[in-house]
Amino acid sequence: DAGITQSPRHKVTETGTPVTLRCHQTENHRYMYWYRQDPGHGLRLIHYSYGVKDTDKGEVSDGYSVSRSKTEDFLLTLESATSSQTSVYFCATSPLAGEQYFGPGTRLTVT
Amino acid sequence: DQQVKQNSPSLSVQEGRISILNCDYTNSMFDYFLWYKKYPAEGPTFLISISSIKDKNEDGRFTVFLNKSAKHLSLHIVPSQPGDSAVYFCAASELSGGGADGLTFGKGTHLIIQP
């Protein structure tokens, strides 16, 4: 395993509040990713990072921002949470393009 | 438009028999394919991958077959065991284009192994 942790593991928040999810890795992998998993959609890419301070948008990036100030940490922020952002969020890392290793996930509920 | 399709939401197989999970893709730029296994309340776990320069890759009980002309791949599990009951995701990427911009996933197939 790639030594990936996500925090928090579960969170309930109200519509309109900001939320930050953290992904931490101990493998010194260059690439990091945020996905969301929803019923009927599989996993969809939100944002990714190819190095410190280098990030780019994925398929479903609207309403999300990310930051990566250190190799080991990749933060996903919902500036103003909406009910449509209720989902399970997975972080993944990769030492190079190709195979990715996933964290345990964060279940976010926006009420 | 869904670029990776798993058309069977679920599949039930008897223990000891062969499980065959199918995946189709539409993007001809995809050149690297992966299968992930996912248990409830856990993250996906990498199973096996195949590059487009191959048509078969084998790892123990798991074999992935790739038919580029048909844009189709399949995962064979033989013999199937109770611990194989999980959701299986097919994923694809463009390694030749750098490949760092994430994986494209199918919706998953829930495999149920019957005793």
B34: buried, middle or exposed (CB in 10 Å: 19+, 13-18, 0-12)? Answer: buried
Residue B98 has pLDDT above 70, yes or no: no
Closest CA to A82 of A60, A49, A54: A60
Among B4, B43, B108, select the one facing A102 at the smallest CB separation: B43
Minimal Cβ distance to A99: which of B6, B49, B101:
B49
Look over chain B and give the mean of its residue pLDDT values, rounded to a whole number. 94
Judge whether A47 and A57 are in contact, CB under 8 Å.
yes
Whether B101 has a pLDDT exceeding 90, the answer reads: no
Between B57 and B101, the more confident residue is: B57
CA nearest A1 in B: which residue? Answer: B45
Residue B101 has its nearest CB partner, among A35, A56, A104, at A56
**B98 close contact with A: CB closer than 8 A:** yes
Instruction: Give me the pLDDT at residue A98, please.
Output: 80
- Which residue type, as a one-letter code, is found at position B84? D
Q: What is the mean pLDDT of residues B67-86?
A: 97
Q: Which residue has the tokens 């590059």?
A: B51
A103 touches chain B (CB under 8 A): yes
